[in-house]
Amino acid sequence: MNALEQKIVTEGNVLSESVIKVDSFLNHQIDPLLMKQIGQEFTDRFSDTNITKVLTLESSGIAPAIMTGLVLGVPVVFAKKRKPITLADHFSTEVYSFTKKEMNNITISKDFLSPDDNILLIDDFLANGQAVSGMVDIVKQAGANLAGVGIVIEKGFQHGGKILRQDGIRVESLAIISSMENNKITFDKEGAL
Ligand code: G4P
Ligand code: NA
Ligand code: NA
């Protein structure tokens, strides 16, 4: 079991068969050392492509994204869930959250994405893939290239990962949970950190 899986098992709280709370190291309190390892691992996995920018969605994607940007030495941009009144010319797309049962309009300023960019998308969770699909849409609007997607925790029993991979998108997940039934977390071994 890798360090991230170990952390998920010891500190994660299975709330239901499909939702796990990881507030002690990822979604509320943040473990910087683990985030640093995560940034290094994403960098290693995508070392064959020349990433120019890391893109994520606020708020929980920012910690793993910034560590990845630090190791890669490239800027990190986060999509905003609420359009700030100061945001002038922007790309935007609709994202539906199954967890929160609401639509969010996510936006990124046109100043920070260009057709010359080779983008690595990072997010904390991959469930149904709505958030990632929204960011993929924005990368397309910008005319940038998508190098791939790095996910900290993929819930393999939901369909986001399958849909993105079927679309030919490279998805690298550092832990893939295959089941949380009966409070027992099992991992898909392909996701080893
Ligand atoms: P999707 O993007 O893959 O379709 O997932 P979904 O709409 O279901 O996710 C909505 C929010 O819930 C996202 O955070 C996502 O990261 C998070 N999430 C999904 N499944 C789990 C889970 O099992 N455990 C935890 N802890 N989070 C989960 P968000 O709304 O963007 O919030 P945040 O980034 O501000 O934390
Ligand atoms: Na998230
Ligand atoms: Na979240």
- CA proximity to 176, closest of 165, 166, 185, 163: 185
* Residue-averaged pLDDT of the chain: 95
- Whole-complex ipTM: 0.91
The more confidently predicted of residues 1 and 77 is 77
From 55, 125, 163, give the residue whose CB has the most ligand 1 atoms within 8 Å, as the site to mutate.
125
Cα(82)–Cα(73) distance, integer angstroms: 28
Digit-coded pLDDT (tens) for 120-162: 999 999 999 999 999 999 999 999 999 999 999 999 999 999 9
Give the pTM.
Answer: 0.95
Q: Which residues pair with 14 in a beta bridge?
A: 20
Task: Give the ligand at the shortest distance from the Cα of 24.
Answer: 1
Digit-coded pLDDT (tens) for 13-28: 999 999 999 999 999 9
pLDDT at 192 over 90: no
Q: Which atom of ligand 1 is nearest to the CA of 125?
A: 16
Residues 6+ apart with CB under 8 A from 123: 56, 57, 60, 61, 64, 131, 132, 135, 149, 150, 151, 152
Q: Which residues pair with 149 in a beta bridge?
A: 121, 171
Q: How confident is the model at residue 88 (pLDDT cuts 50, 70, 90)?
A: confident
pLDDT at res. 99: 78
Q: How far apart are the first and last CA of the chain?
A: 9
Q: How confident is the model at residue 54 (pLDDT cuts 50, 70, 90)?
A: very high
The DSSP 8-state label assigned to residue 81 in this structure reads: S
Q: Which atom of ligand 1 is nearest to the CA of 100?
A: 10
Whether residue 24 has its Cβ less than 6 Å from ligand 1: no
pLDDT at res. 98: 80
